[in-house]
Amino acid sequence: MVKKWRSAALHVILFLFVAVSFIAVYIRAGIVRTRYDKVELSKGWTVKLTRAGEQNIEILEDVDLDEYHVKGLVRGDWFVLSTTLPEELPERPSLRIRSAYSVMDVYVDTQRIFSCGYDEYDKGYLTGSGNRFIALPDDSAGKTLKITVFIAEENAFSTINPPVISDGTHEIVDYLTERQLPLAVALSLITAGFAITVVTFCMYFKSFSIERLFCIGVFSLCIGSWSLCSYDLNLLFTERLYLKSYLEYMSLYLSPLPLILYFREDVERRERKWEIRIYFAVVLCLIQLFVVAVLLNFMNIAHFPVLFGPYLAIILAVVCYAAFLIVRDAVGEKKHRLLIWGVVALLAFSLRDIIVYAFVRFSKIAGTQGEYRTYTAAGAFVFIMAMFADFINEYRRTVSVEAENRLLVKLAYNDVLTGLNTRRRIEEIFKEIDEEGKNFAIMQFDLNNLKQVNDNFGHEKGDELIVNFSDCLKKVYCNGESIGRMGGDEFVVIVPDSANYKVDATVAALEILVSKVNDMTETTKISYSCGFCYSDELEHPTAARVYVEADRRMYLEKEKYYKEKGYGRRRSD
C-alpha cells in the first residue's frame, strides 16, 4: 500500500513539474515578446448602409465601431465605411481587417488596393470569414480609407471589428504570438488526432480498445481543426477564407459523432433495448444532419452559417446526453469517473461561449465581435485529456479482466500437471466431432503401475510417471490429434478424421518410444494398457459411445496384462 502511494505521489509531482515548467515558459514568452506600434481605427467613421431592394441610404457620421451595432442584415445589403487615416503611420503600414461572409473592396482615396470574395460569390460558394492583411501604400497617411462591403449571407455579422494598422514586417508574427496558446493547443490536438486516427483506421472495430481510441483521434482532429480556424490561425496554411470556413464548420458539425460513438460498447453491453434504440437514434440523427448540412451547403441551398444556431443547440444536447451516459456509468458501474471532470469543463466553457456569443451578436449595447473569444476549445482540450486518461484506465481494467479470464480458461481446459486437455475440454471436443459428422477414432490409455509407484516411491514419483507418459503421447500424437487427461492415470487421444489413419502404427510408435524412456529410468518405468475404436465400427456412432467402447477394450487389455503378471484379476489402480 505504501509503495503504491509513493508511486502515485511521484507521478503527481512529475506532472506538476512539467505543467509548471510549460506555464512558466509561456508566461515568460508573453512578457518578453516584442510589441510593435499599432493604430486601431475605431472612431470617426462615416457609415452608409443601403438595404437590398431599397433606394434609401442610411448615413451615420462620426461612428465609433466599438459601439456600432446593426441588426437584420440580409443578402444584398451594401455597406460603405470611410474615415481619414492618421497623419502618422507605422513603417511599411499594413491594414488588418476582418471580412465576414461578404464581398469587400478597400480603397485609399480613389485607388483600390484590395478586393476579395468576388470569385466565391459568383460561383455560389461560401465567401468565408476571417482576417485579411493588406499592405497600404507608403503615402497613405492623411488620406481617405474607404471600405465597401456587399453582404453575401443572411445575418453575416451584427458588429464591425475596427481595422488595425501596424508594421507589416512583423504583423503576422505578432498576430500569431498573441495567439500562441490556442495555436499550440490546436496544433497539438490536430497532430495527436491525425496520428491516432491513421494508426487505428485499419484496425477500427477490431476490438473495444481500438474503436474507442479511434473515436478519441477523430474527436481530437475535429476540435483541433475547428480551434485553428475559429482563432483565424489558418494563415499558416491558406488565405482562402472559404476553405477555412468549410473546414471550421464541417469539423464542428462532425465532432458530436465520435463523441457519442465512444460510448457504444457500454450501451450495447447493458442490453437494454430502449437505451440501445435511443442511442442509435441519436447516432443516426447526427449522421443524417451532417450529411444534410454538407449537401445543402455545396448545393448552395443553405450555407453552413445559416445552420449554425440550430446545430449549436444540437451539439449542446449531444454533450448533455454524453454527460448523462458518463454520470450513469460513474454512479452505477464505477466507470468513466475521470470523464466527469472533462465533461464539466466542456459544458462550462461551451455555455459561457454560447451566452457571450448571443450577447455580442444580438445585444445593442455589446462591443465588437473582436472582443469575443471562444473558450470551448479549452474545455474540449480538457475533455480530450480526460478521454485519454479514461481510455487508459478502462484499457488497463479490460486487460486485467481478459488476463483473469484467460487464466480461468487455462485452468478449466488445461491440466496443470501435464498441460494436456482436461475432461471438460475433451467433452467439448466430443460435441464438435458429433457436429462435423466425419469418421473419427478414439484411443483410451491407462497406466498399469501408478499405484505401485506411489506406494513404493511416493506420489512425487507417481507424478513423474504421469508426466513422462504424457510427454510420450505428445511426441507421437502431434498431427492434429487431441490428447486429454481424463483424470488420475487415464488418457485419451481423439483422431478427428480417421480416413487413412492407422491407429496400429501410432500405437506401435508409442510402444517404441516408451521402451526408450524406460531404458533411462530405474523407478518410474511406464506400463500402460490401450484400447481404441473407429467410429465406423458402430452402427450409430457418437463420440461418447465410441469412447465407451474404446474404454471397454482398454480394460480387456488391462485384465490380460494382470493375468500375464500373475496377479489374477485386475488390481484397483
Q: Which CATH number fits domain 179-408: 1.20.120, 2.40.50, 1.10.10, 1.20.1070?
A: 1.20.1070
Average pLDDT of span 156-167: 85
Short-list 492, 350, 471, 351, CA closest to 421: 492
- Quote the mean pLDDT of the chain: 81
| Res. 454 pLDDT band, cuts 50 70 90 | confident
Strand partners, 130: 99
**Residue 35, pLDDT above cutoff 60:** no
| Res. 545 pLDDT band, cuts 50 70 90 | very high
> Among 180-184, 203-207, 501-505, which stretch is predicted with the lowest mean pLDDT?
203-207
**Residue 28, pLDDT above cutoff 70:** no
Rg over CA atoms, the chain: 39
pLDDT of res. 533: 93
pLDDT of res. 473: 92
Q: What is the pTM for the complete model shown? A: 0.64
pLDDT of res. 32: 45
> By percentage, how much of the chain surpasses pLDDT 70?
86
- To which CATH superfamily is domain 423-564 assigned? Reverse transcriptase/Diguanylate cyclase domain (3.30.70.270)
Q: Is residue 204 classed exposed, middle or buried when 0-12, 13-18 and 19+ CB atoms within 10 A define those classes?
A: middle
Architecture per CATH, domain 39-168, reads as Sandwich (2.60)
Distance, CA of 461 to CA of 446 (rounded, Å): 17
pLDDT of res. 27: 53
Match 460513438 to its residue by C-alpha cell: 261
> Among 169-173, 413-417, 491-495, which stretch is predicted with the lowest mean pLDDT?
169-173
Q: According to DSSP H, which parts of 489-530 are helical? A: 503-519
Residues 266, 332: contact at Cβ < 8 Å? no
Residues 112, 105: contact at Cβ < 8 Å? yes
> By percentage, how much of the chain surpasses pLDDT 90?
19
Average pLDDT of span 110-129: 88
Long-range contacts of 190-198 (CB under 8 A, 24+ apart): 190/220, 190/221, 190/224, 190/225, 190/228, 191/224, 192/217, 192/220, 192/224, 193/217, 193/218, 193/219, 193/220, 193/221, 193/222, 193/223, 193/224, 194/221, 196/220, 197/221
pLDDT of res. 370: 42
Per-range mean pLDDT, top range of 139-153, 266-280, 412-426? 139-153
Short-list 546, 572, 545, 540, CA closest to 558: 572
Expressed in percent and rounded to 5, the helix, strand and coil fractions of the chain are 55, 15, 30
pLDDT of res. 236: 76
pLDDT of res. 126: 86
369-400 pLDDT, tens digit each? 444 466 777 777 777 777 777 777 777 777 77
**Residue 204, pLDDT above cutoff 70:** no
**Residue 25, pLDDT above cutoff 80:** no
pLDDT of res. 203: 66
pLDDT of res. 357: 60
